[in-house]
Amino acid sequence: MNIETKLGLDVFKIDTEPHIIIDQQICRSCEEKYCLYVCPGKLYSINRETGDMEVDCSGCLECGTCRIACVHGALDWNYARGGFGVQYRFG
């Protein structure tokens, strides 16, 4: 089962504002780009046109792995606002 299908099983209440803000300047100078593969939802990607790092907050599991893995401090990371984001039914 691919990751998009898996995330499609979860209940998300999608906010219009992203809860993770990426500092592109720090990202550009980062060689490792750990965020691209540590996220269990595979939500980080590089925009082909702009070269910017992007994160799809609407499928965020709010685990915080990227916050810990981004050793360069490029993430202004917060949880989804109250009443938004993933709502686990089983947990």
Partner 1 sequence: MTDADEEKVEVVVVGAGLAGLSAAYVLAEAGIDTVVVERGDYPGAKNVTGGRVYMHPLRHYLPDLWDDAPLERYVTRETITMMAEDSSTAVTLDTERFREQPYHSYTILRGTFDRWFGDKVAEAGAFVLPKYRADDVLVEDGRVVGIVMGEEDEIRADVVVAADGVLSLMAEKAGLREPQQPKHYAVSAKEVIELPAKSIEERFNLGSGEGAAQLYFGALTKGMLGGGFLYTNKDSISLGIVVGIESLLEKDPKIEVHDLLEEFKSRPEIRNLIAEGETVEYSGHVIPEGGINAMPRLYSDGIVVVGEAAGLGLNMLLTVRGMEFAVASGVMAAEAIKEAREKGDYSASSLVRYEELLRDSFVLKDLQTFRHILGFMENPRLFNYYPQAICDIFTQLMWIDESPKPNISSTVIREALGKFVNWSTVKDAVGILRI
Under 8 Å between Cβ of 86 and 80: yes
Stretch that binds partner 1, among 21-29, 47-55, 71-79 (CB under 8 A): 71-79
Q: Which helix (H) or strand (E) holds 85?
A: strand 85-86
Task: Kindly state whether residue 31 participates in binding partner 1, applying the rule CB under 8 A.
Answer: no
Could you tell me the smallest distance in angstroms from the CB atom of residue 90 to partner 1?
Answer: 4
Task: Kindly state whether residue 34 participates in binding partner 1, applying the rule CB under 8 A.
Answer: yes
| Residue position matching structure tokens 């592109």 | 24
Q: Which of 24, 28, 40, 76 binds partner 1 (CB under 8 A)?
A: 40
Q: Which of 21, 56, 62, 72 binds partner 1 (CB under 8 A)?
A: 62
**57/13 Cα distance (integer angstroms):** 11
**57/43 Cα distance (integer angstroms):** 7
> In sequence order, what are the residues at sequence separation of 6 or more whose Cβ sits closer than 8 angstroms to the Cβ of residue 11?
86, 87, 88, 89
Tell me which residues touch partner 1 (CB under 8 A): 1, 3, 6-7, 9-10, 13, 32, 34, 37-38, 40-42, 61-65, 67-69, 71, 73, 78-83, 85-91
